[in-house]
Structure 1
Amino acid sequence: MNILNQHQNAFPHLLPIIDSMRVYQEMKLWKQLSDQLLVYIKDPQVNQGTHLKDLFEGFVKKFYQEIDEMKLVRILIKTAEQYGDFQSRIDFLKQFKLDEQPQLVIEILIAFFKLQQGQLQEVDELLKQYKQKSEKLQEVDPLVYSMLYYLAYNFYKIKNVYEEFYVNALQYLAYTNDQDMLQEQKVQLSYEMALAVLISPNIYNFSELLQQPVLVSLKESAQYTWVYQLLDIFNRGSVRELNNFQWNEERKRVIPNFQVLNEKIRIMAFLELAFSLPKNNRVCTFEELSQVSELPLSDIERLVMRTISKGLVKGRINQVKQTITISYVVPRVLTLDKIEIINKKFGNWEKSLNVFLKEVEDVRKTFN
């Protein structure tokens, strides 16, 4: 119990949890003890230095075989990071031989440390193997997928493959409890995902990212608030706001390709215009699109063709009338303002239906 006494002195704010762990260990109540440990290891202060490593060596190691293995690997994931260099972390993890799913989690974590050592080719092969293994499992614990996509998004981040990084990061968030992420990780991942969406010429669903709970950390971050503001501007397709956006040298450094930004914001302006049109009359003029995109009329046809080529809309151009008839708009995650637009569309549809029904009723009365 010496290590618990040390932690008690170091973390007085965690005294109730430490006392409960001491009691549960003495009474051999392994489930309750492991549950308390999972709460304990989420504390940011405990995650610093070698506190978790010392706790494992001086306390958890004595009874780890008694607790649920999926809970154990959650403890190991946090603890391994405090075992010095990457090879020391790998050696620490290799001593555990567990059941299929928790063992797969350990293997994925070992692959992650190999990735940090620059072993990209090996990790690429391991990633394929682990995906195949996960597909064969039944009743898969979310932690397996969480770690699998964690490995995948970090792999593609190192390779600068923005689309794959973004897709796998979204999957990681889908299988990961927000409370299991430290604040620093939330901010960093949100920032990296935001940059990927902005920089990539092929990602246009800004609303999908903005709906992620972790984006709150980006919005509230003094350092990266500007990135959240950019996401919001692009999500609304506001060319005017982008033109007025304040750029400094740091912001220009991390988002250097203004050609991509300028094209994306105008495509988003087109998508916003298309979304706002009534479904039974999705026709807009070159002039309307010119106004929202702030492009001259001579560039509108090219903008429409670029948007169609990316599969974001389907439709046809009437060059004589200078109109665009839209038959399809890529689905988007609905934000409150989008729901308001749909609500207005339903209201207009209801009015049209009432007019039609009144006309039918008038005709019926005439014949009677």
Structure 2
Amino acid sequence: MSSSSVATRRMDVGEYLRQQQQLAANTGLIEWWTTFEELYTKRLWHQLTQKVYEFVRTVPHPNLLDFYENFIADFETKINGLTLIETCVYIVNQLPSHESRVVFLNKLSEKVKANREAAILCNILLGQSMLEAKDLKGIKDLLETTNELIEAETGVTAVHSRYYRLSSEYHKLVGNHCEYYRDALRYLGCQTSTDVEDADTQAQRAFTLALAAILGDNIYNFGELLQHPIVNTLRPEHRYMKDLLLAFNSGDLTKYEALRTQWLQQPDLAQHELQMRQKICLLSLMEMTFNSTNGIIKFDEIAKQTRIPINEIELLVMKALSLGLVRGSIDEVEKTVHLSWVQPRVLDKKQIENMKKKLDIWFKDIDNIEKLLEKRAQEIIN
């Protein structure tokens, strides 16, 4: 079917409904068509819209484009723009080619441009078709345009999750780990009850997210992913990925090395072994900074924790400072680093416990200083 087939011969609505009733007489679907005729005749547009949407979602129909052209198109101006696009999702899925979908969606887009959510959803459907056709330039431009519409929305709408899913799929296709990780997490955060995915899809998304987190250049926060239920959907052969994420999250070189024989079986990880090592060393330094009570850490302590030569410690700290992972200074004479800040992260239970212990120490120190001041003040008064 060519793109020209999107335009079909329009017939009178009454004639079309009678024709469909005759065709459905022996199929058990005639009730649908008599209901359509009744609601259309009475001009009960809301009830008719609901019935049409239920029909396209639940009843197998060989030619929904014909249904749209000869019936829905007659009263589509009476339908809420977003509901119209939601209904047309099923029609678009029946169109056999990217060209025919583009023609149909472009016409539809003009009809709903006054409704921002409907316009966004129309763009998303067009983007999905572009993704299937591997039109990477087209989908990149479309995502940028649609992002402006998304940003203008107040709160989370019905189209946010589908936009972020489309965007994450595009970034996955072009190999952009950081952007994929960001938008895939946003998708998970915006999911609604209608965004139901099968177990295989969830498991694949969990694995891809884990890979993106580990391989993404600017990703040093794994807590949000680790706390999401999706990590528990990993297939048995990929369960080591959760342990690997935990090792990175806490900068645990021992656990990282213990998992080496497993993650080396994954080609993407084996290919980036050097980058992974550098990343977990930076995370280890972040963890040391977080656990330090006074922010002063010796070079030899860092060398022991990260397992790198002491003459490379300064380079590691400078890298962390340049990436904005920590803030502080290096004392080359004393061979120490003074770190006063570490990049905020989503903490796991163990990290929260360490923070509690640190706060307890601080409170104790404050209490001691308070008592000392009271004692000194009393001495002065006396």
Residue 233 of structure 1 is matched in structure 2 by 247
Gaps of 5+ in 2: 1-20, 30-38
Residue 356 of structure 1 is matched in structure 2 by 369
Partner SS state of residue 190, structure 1: helix
CA displacement at 1:125 relative to structure 2:
1.9
Residue 265 of structure 1 is matched in structure 2 by 280
Residue 328 of structure 2 is matched in structure 1 by 315
CA contact (8 A) 1:166 1:197 kept: yes
Output the CA distance in 1 between the equivalents of 2:153 and 2:145: 17
Residue 19 of structure 1 is matched in structure 2 by none
Residue 142 of structure 1 is matched in structure 2 by 157
- 1:177-188 equivalences in 2 (<5 Å): 177=192, 180-183=195-198, 184-188=200-204
User: Per-residue CA shift, 1:110-155, capped at 9, x if unaligned?
Assistant: 12211220211222222222223344x4546623333332332222
Residue 122 of structure 1 is matched in structure 2 by 138
| Match 1:108 to one of 102, 124, 131 | 124
Return closer, same or farther for 1:277/1:72 CA change in 2, 3 Å cut-off: farther
CA displacement at 1:250 relative to structure 2:
7.5
- 1:205-244 equivalences in 2 (<5 Å): 205-218=221-234, 221-244=235-258
Output the CA distance in 1 between the equivalents of 2:156 and 2:212: 29
Output the CA distance in 2 between the equivalents of 1:127 and 1:354: 56
Return closer, same or farther for 1:249/1:270 CA change in 2, 3 Å cut-off: closer
Output the CA distance in 1 between the equivalents of 2:88 and 2:265: 38
CA contact (8 A) 2:213 2:222 kept: yes
Output the CA distance in 2 between the equivalents of 1:52 and 1:60: 14
User: Per-residue CA shift, 1:322-357, capped at 9, x if unaligned?
Assistant: 111002211111222222122112211111122122
| 1:154 correspondence with 2:166 | no
Residue 338 of structure 1 is matched in structure 2 by 351
| Match 1:298 to one of 311, 326, 333 | 311
Partner SS state of residue 247, structure 1: helix
Q: Which has the larger radius of gyration?
A: 2
Output the CA distance in 2 between the equivalents of 1:176 and 1:329: 31
| 1:253 correspondence with 2:267 | yes
Paired letter, 1:119: D
Residue 21 of structure 1 is matched in structure 2 by none
CA displacement at 1:237 relative to structure 2:
0.8
Q: Normalising by structure 2, what TM-score?
A: 0.73
CA displacement at 1:251 relative to structure 2:
3.0
Output the CA distance in 1 between the equivalents of 2:128 and 2:322: 37
Output the CA distance in 1 between the equivalents of 2:297 and 2:82: 55
Gaps of 5+ in 1: 8-24
Output the CA distance in 1 between the equivalents of 2:201 and 2:273: 28
Q: Normalising by structure 1, what TM-score?
A: 0.76
Paired letter, 2:371: K
| Match 1:198 to one of 205, 210, 214 | 214
Residue 14 of structure 1 is matched in structure 2 by none
The CA RMSD over aligned residues, in Å, is 3.9
User: Per-residue CA shift, 1:53-77, capped at 9, x if unaligned?
Assistant: 6697899997896875545545655
CA displacement at 1:92 relative to structure 2:
6.1
More off after superposition, 258-267 vs 115-124:
115-124
Return closer, same or farther for 1:227/1:78 CA change in 2, 3 Å cut-off: farther
CA contact (8 A) 2:82 2:115 kept: no
Return closer, same or farther for 1:72/1:226 CA change in 2, 3 Å cut-off: farther
CA contact (8 A) 1:53 1:82 kept: no
Output the CA distance in 1 between the equivalents of 2:213 and 2:240: 14
More off after superposition, 225-234 vs 258-267:
225-234
